[in-house]
Amino acid sequence: MGYAIDLSGRRALVTGGGQGIGRAIAHTLAEAGAAVVVNDIDGGRADTVVAEIDAAGGKASALPFDVTRWEDVEEAINGDGVIDVLVNNAGNAGVESFGTLCHFAESDPQEWSRYFAVNLFGTMHCTRAALPGMIAAGGGGRIVTIVSESARYGDKCLAPYAAAKAGAAGFCRSVAREVGRFGITVNCVSLGTMDSPITAGAPFDGSGYVIRRRGRPEEVGGLVTYLASPQAEWITGQTYAINGGYTFSQ
């Protein structure tokens, strides 16, 4: 006997799915049988992941757009058909790195908006665009948002990013209360330091982590796929940490 998650007949949109954690989530959802819509601001990256999934026998399509632009998000999602599962994964600083990290008292207020544009407003844009279709479909929709332990723990030199991620988590809890009556669940997955294109080559000594390594993208894919499944229909408004013991919850 074996245990399997079956997402056959479900369409799942993964934002920022062209690399790193988003790529792993897209692959895992496809392995579970979902038809995966791979979003990325870079259409070439999205096409590459689609080709990988197709080659492995899965179903996927590319849908490039910028999550920070409401008009683009609305047009893309509304024109692509009903989304059963939305994974708000696009994040970081809207660029390929966090830029210069500094204490908040030394930060430039002109730089704060880029963190909110992707991590908070990007999540709000995609959720707003996907929800009407989920409601009209009669329930069973799933929204999973990737947030950060920087928000839950309060890492120094990341205050604007932490604020945006904490805002996304609070937003998801509020929406969960609104849409639960439709059978739609809304949850978050909070990440510690992960292997990703941004952290590649950066030093990491494991300090503060019980399991002294970075997280692996496929570990995120497994939890997201479970939360997207029918087995998780009584779980909503929650934040689950994948963090190697960086923080503990009671």
CATH class of 71-242: alpha beta
Residues in a beta bridge with 146: 189
- 123: closest CA among 50, 197, 70? 70
Convert the pLDDT of each residue in 99-141 to its tens digit: 678 999 999 999 999 999 999 999 999 999 999 999 999 989 9
Number of other CB atoms surrounding residue 170 within 10 Å: 14
Q: What is the 3-state secondary structure (H, E, C) of 189-214?
A: EEECCECCCCCCCCCCCCCCCCCCCC
- 198: closest CA among 46, 101, 96? 96
User: What's the N-to-C CA distance of the chain in angstroms?
Assistant: 34
Active site residue 161: yes
- Choose the catalytic residue: 3, 161, 209, 226: 161
This model's pTM is above 0.85: yes
In the prediction, which pLDDT does 83 show? 98
CA distance 234 to 154: 29
